[in-house]
Amino acid sequence: MGYYDEHTQLRLGRKRKFPTTFVSSLAAACIGSAVTLAVVSPNSLENKISDTKSQADVPAMTNSIETVSMNFETQITKAIEKASGAVVGVINIQNNRMLQPDQEAGTGSGVIYKKEDGKAYVVTNSHVVNGASKIEISLEDGKRVSGKLLGEDIYMDLAVIEIDAAEVKHVATFASSDNIKLGEPVLAIGNPLGLEFSGSVTQGIISGLDRSIPVDYNQDGSADWEADVLQTDAAINPGNSGGALVNANGDVIGINSMKINQTSVEGIGFSIPISIAIPIIESLEVHGKVIRPYLGVATRSLADVASYHWQHTFKLPSDVTEGVFIEQVGPNSPAAKAGLQELDVIVKLDGEKIESMVQLRKYLYQKKKVGDTISISYYRNGELTETKMTLESIPGES
């Protein structure tokens, strides 16, 4: 397969005469798919070439060559054809200085998921449009149209942009990400390294399911959230963010979001599962934000303070080493109405163990909604207590 030793080279240098049938079989094996580029009739060669004639005397054989067209359409090419037209470029334009022209601050990818009433809607990552004063969308033919940011959510790293639908020809189809299997083939479609490589496609598999990746949004060294993502080895590079992760049918099953950026790491990229993304996308499109319930407390994880305080400050039993303690209770908040106080240590929500602030936030944001009742188990002065509260929206967001 491209590697030869001395003996092989010597053998290749000898001229050997093979039967016509053997040569034909060998050629067919090399082609594999039985696609023939040229067919030469042996009989016509016998009639036209004499043993006594030199090679220069051989007449032209134009009439004995047949051109055969090739069709390389596969399931993968069909999937690309179906999905690629809906994947667009998202240009973040900023103006950070007065009296200076606008400048492109960065380029990412996006997916057109809806076309309705003369408008089209693009989903991308929140970090792609972060800080933008203007947004432009580069369509599949390279034409740019102005985009309007309807809303973004940093926790899910999603944003929705509205554009005029006049030039939009393709809309992506979403498929459930709940039944994805490990090893399932996928394609990543986007614009790695900018619009010069727009519409690039990489192929891989689903490398991991239900991955939780800690994310530090305010760069204070502590995780603010754990992103639930799909892991893939399909190449995801800068500029792919917000693009589509597509299954073999050409349906979008994820929004590409991040990769592990270390020189020692290859082939580890992450995508937001579409089943998790859909309710966030819908809320951003309609409300411009995600309306989430809140407790009305400022909290920290027990792991953030010295273990000395666990028994001496919070009066916890020695076997309680995980949970979330309350630093402050907001006035007239659901927590205040339920009787929670500073230094209470929350250990369960609805009977489910809570080990950290991130876990509390995820449970609240992903499993509860405004108006729901929630049961809270907490320690106060060493005693386990339970209370219930009705969840409300953050003031000003309802």
Establish whether 241 is a catalytic residue: yes
DSSP conformation letters of 105-139: EEEEEEEEEEEETTEEEEEE-HHHHTT-SEEEEE-
- Dist. CA 176–CA 6, nearest whole Å: 56
Of the listed 84, 109, 126, 127, which one is catalytic?
A: 127
Establish whether 127 is a catalytic residue: yes
Residue 290: strand, helix, or coil: coil
Cβ contact 378:340 at 8 Å:
yes
177: tokens are 């990400």
C-alpha distances (whole Å) from 129 to each of 94, 273, 316 are 10, 20, 45
Residue 393: strand, helix, or coil: strand
Establish whether 287 is a catalytic residue: no
Helix (H) or strand (E) segment spanning residue 89? strand 87-94
Closest CA to 147 of 113, 178, 123: 123
Measured at the alpha carbon of residue 276, what is the angle toward residues 273 and 281, in degrees to the nearest 5? 105
Burial (0-12, 13-18, 19+ Cβ within 10 Å), 109: buried
In angstroms, how far is CA 113 from the centroid of its own chain?
15
Of the listed 109, 138, 153, 157, which one is catalytic?
A: 157
Of the listed 138, 241, 283, 377, which one is catalytic?
A: 241
Residue count of the chain, please give it: 398
Instruction: Say how many C-beta atoms besides its own lie within 10 A of residue 89's C-beta.
Output: 25
- Dist. CA 76–CA 70, nearest whole Å: 17
In angstroms, how far is CA 319 from the centroid of its own chain?
40
Q: What is the 3-state secondary structure (H, E, C) of 160-193?
A: EEEEECCCCCCCCCECCCCCCCCCCEEEEEECCC
What secondary structure letter does DSSP report for 241? T
Catalogue the active-site residues. 127, 157, 241
